Every structure is written in C-alpha cells, then in structure tokens.
Amino acid sequence: MLSQDDPKSRPMLELREKLQPEVIELIKQQRLNRMYEGTCFRKISARRRQDKFWYCRLSPNHKVLHYGDIEEFSQGQISPESLQEKVTVADIKAVVTGKDCPHMKEKGALKNKELLELAFSIHHNSDEYLNFIAPDKHEFCIWTDGLNAVLGKEMTSELTKSDMDTLVNMELKLRLLDLENIQIPDVPPPVPKEPSTYDFVYDFSQQHI
C-alpha cells in the first residue's frame, strides 16, 4: 500500500496541515464576499401576523454593517444607501448564538429547536444587540463564520469544516499527481553529511532572467 493511499500517514497529515492556512484564507474571502452581498432576514414574531423583512450587508472595507427594514423579501442586493442603520465592526464585542441570544431569552419568544439553531446576535457597544434569525442553516454558518472572521476569530461552523475538506482534498490530490505509483517514505530519509565543497559546476549569479 502506498503512503498516499493512507490519509493518516505522517507525510499526508503533514501536507494537509500545510495546506490548511491557505484554504482558511479562501473560506474567509468567500464568507466576507457573501456578507458583502448581504442577506434578507426575517423578523419573526409571535405577535405579528405577517413577518417583516430586513436586510443586512457588510461594507466593502469590512468596517461597517449596514442594515435596515425592507418592504418585501428581496433575493437581490439592496444598496447600502437604502439601508438606514449601521453597526461599526470595531464596536462589536461578541457574537452569540442559540439560547444565549437575547431574542431567544425573552419571555414569550418563539423558541423551537429550529429557530434556536438559526439564531445569532451581535453584541455591540456596551449594551446593544442586533438580533438575527438566519433563513437557513447555510446562511447561519456564512454569517457566524463571517462575523468571526472580521473579528479576527476562528471560523468554527460545520460549513467551514466541510468546505475545508472539499478544498483541501482537491488540493492534496493535485499535489500528489506526480507521485502516482511512487512510494512515499513514512519517515524522512536520512540527510547526508553536508557536501565537502560548494564549488558548483554552474554559476548563475550573472543571470538577468
């Protein structure tokens, strides 16, 4: 069995680890792009008959979240100018999810398992909260990952794990293309003693390439 067939062999694990930081950067870019496009959220209330909608999007410089109510559900992007409110990213203290959210703790708040899994809140300034209910699990992951990313924190959603796997697995396959049918040593081969001379045959120091 060749080393590259065994994903748990040391060289494979080492290469995976090496590939991760670049992949995390890609995931972060994607999340930020999605937040920049923005999402239409529902304000769910037990009291109202009809749900209201609001839109939230990240500014191009990633420093401000623009948001505001909108008349009806929108698939397309809403321009920041039509969104009245904003939260400055630098004022964000924390992002909380699920039952730690104020809108999930309120008395009379709609609390079913699905909603708890889609709820997140931005704690900003000293005592203000911006409460969200994500339209689906996917958007929940995009936004919580994205917010963690702008705050310089780790992205921890299931979506990040799965995107990581997808991207790293492909990268790994591509890196190993030229090692098809070739034995990879499990432990590093011995390094010979340094050569007794560095007087090389070819001198490239005059190259202008």
Partner 1 sequence: MWTPTEDEKIGVVVCSFRGSVSLGLTLELGETVHILEKCEGWYRGFSTKKPSIKGIFPAGYVHLKKAVVTNRGQYETVVPLEDPIITEVTSTLQEWSVLWKQLYVKHKVDLFYKLRHVMNELIDLRRQLLSGHLTQDQVREVKRHITVRLDWGNE
Chain positions contacting partner 1, by CB under 8 A: 11, 14-15, 18, 26, 29-30, 33-34, 37, 163, 166-167, 170-171, 173-185, 188-202, 204, 207, 209
Contacts 24+ apart (CB under 8 A), 174-177: 175/15, 175/19, 176/4
Token pair of 151 as six digits: 């705050």
Nearer CB in complex with partner 1: 28/93 = 28
Q: How far is the CB of 208 from partner 1 (least distance, A)?
A: 11
Between CA 21 and CA 56 the distance in angstroms is 29
Quick one: residue 8, left, alpha or beta (phi over 0 = left, psi -120 to 50 = alpha)?
Answer: alpha
Nearer CB in complex with partner 1: 29/88 = 29
Q: How far is the CB of 181 from partner 1 (least distance, A)?
A: 6
Between CA 67 and CA 73 the distance in angstroms is 14
Q: How far is the CB of 121 from partner 1 (least distance, A)?
A: 25
Nearest by Cα to 148 from 32, 57, 4: 32
Q: What are phi and psi of 199, to 5 degrees?
A: -85, 85
Nearer CB in complex with partner 1: 29/79 = 29
Q: How far is the CB of 151 from partner 1 (least distance, A)?
A: 20
Q: How far is the CB of 202 from partner 1 (least distance, A)?
A: 5
Token pair of 190 as six digits: 């011995």
Nearer CB in complex with partner 1: 108/189 = 189
Nearer CB in complex with partner 1: 7/185 = 185
Instruction: Look up residue 6 and give its amino acid.
Output: D
Nearer CB in complex with partner 1: 15/89 = 15
Q: How far is the CB of 187 from partner 1 (least distance, A)?
A: 9
Cβ count near 56 (within 10 Å): 22
Helix axes 137-150, 158-175, angle to 10 degrees: 80
